[in-house]
Amino acid sequence: MRMLKQLNPRERLVIGLGSACLAAMLLVYAGVLPLLERRARSAQQTAAIERELQQMRELRDEYGRLQAENLRTAAILQKRPTGFSLFSFLDQLAGNTGIKSKIVYMKPSTVKDAEKASNRSRVEIKLNDVTLEQISRFLYRIEMSPHLISVPRLSIKQKQQESGFLETVIQVETLET
């Protein structure tokens, strides 16, 4: 303190202002900036948590939809007649739609789906000399059947340019019970 009293008023003013600036800088760097950084980090964490929460809600909704679809599929499969055979069903359907005589071959197979822990019954059918109307009627009855049958692959070729007849290979499948 004695040294300050020996200084002239201008020097004391400069030292006082310097000390005040130093104290202000110390307050800003030691108090205010860490507080602002914590606040920004907290806002980022809150935003990240909200994004995760939204994602969890979406996953919950998707799980609910999948679970409902699984229950619907199980109900459809339970309504199937005992001993349902995709091959027999398609053979009978071909007879009903009038294309049984057009069948070149019907190849049945079973596909194991490890991911879904289920088996699929599959039949590949080749038809020759059929019209577009006959194929359409056959496919419509397959897709509209109450037995959860789908057509994952379909190949249609025109036999001759002006004949109007088609060659078709249809792959039909369903879940096995």
- For 78-96, write each residue's pLDDT tens digit: 888 888 888 999 999 999 9
Same domain, yes or no: 66 and 99: no
Same domain, yes or no: 121 and 163: yes
The per-residue pLDDT for 4 is: 67
- 163 pLDDT above the threshold of 90: no
- 161 pLDDT above the threshold of 70: no
**Domain boundary at 44, 77, 110, which?**
77
Q: Read off the pTM.
A: 0.63
Same domain, yes or no: 131 and 157: yes
Please state, in angstroms and rounded to a whole number, the distance separating the CA atoms of residues 177 and 102. 30
The per-residue pLDDT for 152 is: 93
Q: What CATH number should be reported for the domain holding residue 152?
A: 3.30.70.60
- 166 pLDDT above the threshold of 80: yes
Average pLDDT, stretch 63-67? 94
- Considering only CA atoms, which of 161, 124, 154, 148 is closest in space to residue 136? 154
Please state, in angstroms and rounded to a whole number, the distance separating the CA atoms of residues 172 and 151. 5
Residue 64 tokens, joined: 């609910």
Same domain, yes or no: 95 and 71: no
Same domain, yes or no: 105 and 156: yes
The per-residue pLDDT for 108 is: 92
Q: In the β-sheet with 103-113, what is the strand arrangement from edge to edge?
A: 103-113, 118-130, 166-175, 149-158
Same domain, yes or no: 92 and 163: yes
Same domain, yes or no: 49 and 90: no
5-61 tens-digit pLDDT: 777 878 878 888 888 888 888 888 888 888 888 888 888 999 999 999 999 999 999
| Tally of domains within the chain | 2
**Domain boundary at 50, 77, 104, which?**
77
Same domain, yes or no: 25 and 97: no
Task: Give yes or no for a contact between 86 and 111, defined as CB atoms under 8 angstroms apart.
Answer: no
Average pLDDT, stretch 149-159? 90
Same domain, yes or no: 113 and 69: no
**Domain boundary at 55, 77, 99, which?**
77
Domain around 65? 2-77
Same domain, yes or no: 149 and 95: yes
Please state, in angstroms and rounded to a whole number, the distance separating the CA atoms of residues 60 and 78. 27
Tell me which amino acid residue 151 is: V
